[in-house]
Amino acid sequence: MLLAACGAPEPGVGGGQARRQDDGWTAAPRITAVERQGTGGLVVRGAASPGARVVLRGGQDAVFAAGADATGRFELNIGRLTAPVVLTPEVQIGQYPAPGPERLLLVEQAEAPLAALLVEGQASRRLSPAPVLDVVDGDGAGLVASGRGRPGAQISVSADGSTPVTVGVSADGRWVAALPSTADRATHITVGDIGFDYPGPGSAGDRIERAGSGWRVAQVLSPSARLTSWFPDM
């Protein structure tokens, strides 16, 4: 499944800014939650500058827009997705779109939707429920595992039986572990005492596809730069 969007401006999670026409600044939209609606389809919630027009764009055939209220909160009704998609959140400033640094991955599934923020140069940020491992990100050379847990807890992560790496869970409930001396290839990753089989980066090209027991997103950023994010099933 081809990605709907793959380019990205400079890294940053939710803290990007966009220039107004009058040379002022306005906050880029920040996605905080994706939920299934009771009537079917998905709703995307987040924050932006009060009164801003927020757009999720995935090429000519996928554009969703809504206005932020006086407190900056917005809600976008996506409806039912017939295929996985990556959307670019942007704020509309006059006639000019100002994209944020994130890309929003949405995959509609029977049990629960998969939603995650893809950010160049940083670990992907999964929004939907997950096992102890949220995602494995690879850049063609090394791997980074990340997930969620109780703030202050210690998480042990290893690859192919190597010496475990221990990382702490931050105040916002997230942890990130770079896997030392682990190339971007098919790898058995253990978090605590739970194992996951990362299937590797797959074939070349921008894709959203099933891979092993999860979803794999491949993004080609340049002829020499490629990112792969693998999201294990619940």
pLDDT of 223 reads 66
Confidence of residue 1 (pLDDT cuts 50, 70, 90): very low
d(CA 207, CA 1): 5
Angle at 76 between CA 13 and CA 118, to 5 degrees: 25
User: Which residue is listed with tokens 């730069």?
Assistant: 225
Tell whether the model's pLDDT for residue 124 goes beyond 80: yes
Q: How many residues would you count in the chain?
A: 234
Q: What residue spans define the domains of the chain?
A: 1-6+15-119, 129-234
d(CA 203, CA 79): 31
Average pLDDT of the residues of the chain: 83
pLDDT of 43 reads 93
d(CA 209, CA 88): 19
* DSSP H/E element including 68: none
3-class SS at 105? strand
Which residues contact residue 84 at a Cβ distance below 8 angstroms, ignoring those fewer than 6 apart? Answer: 1, 105, 106, 107, 108, 208, 215
Confidence of residue 112 (pLDDT cuts 50, 70, 90): confident
d(CA 94, CA 42): 27
For the ranges 139-143, 183-187, 188-192, the maximum mean pLDDT occurs at 188-192
pLDDT (average), residues 85-113: 85
d(CA 2, CA 66): 26
Confidence of residue 171 (pLDDT cuts 50, 70, 90): very high
Its CATH architecture, for the domain 1-6+15-119, is Sandwich (2.60)
pLDDT of 202 reads 78
Q: Are the folds of 1-6+15-119 and 129-234 the same?
A: yes
What count of other Cβ atoms lies within 10 Å of the Cβ of residue 225? 11
Structure tokens at 96: 């000019």
Could you tell me if 110 and 121 are in contact, meaning their C-beta atoms sit under 8 angstroms apart? no
Give the range among 17-21, 94-98, 133-137 with minimum mean pLDDT.
Answer: 17-21
pLDDT of 17 reads 44
- Torsion of Cα atoms, 117 then 118 then 124 then 129, to 10°: 30
Confidence of residue 159 (pLDDT cuts 50, 70, 90): very high
pLDDT of 139 reads 85
Tell whether the model's pLDDT for residue 92 goes beyond 50: yes
What count of other Cβ atoms lies within 10 Å of the Cβ of residue 47? 18
Question: Is domain 129-234 in CATH 2.60.40, yes or no?
Answer: yes
Q: What is the pTM of this model?
A: 0.84
User: What is the per-residue DSSP string for 201-218?
Assistant: --SSSSEEEE-SSEEEEE
d(CA 90, CA 7): 13
Angle at 174 between CA 169 and CA 176, to 5 degrees: 80
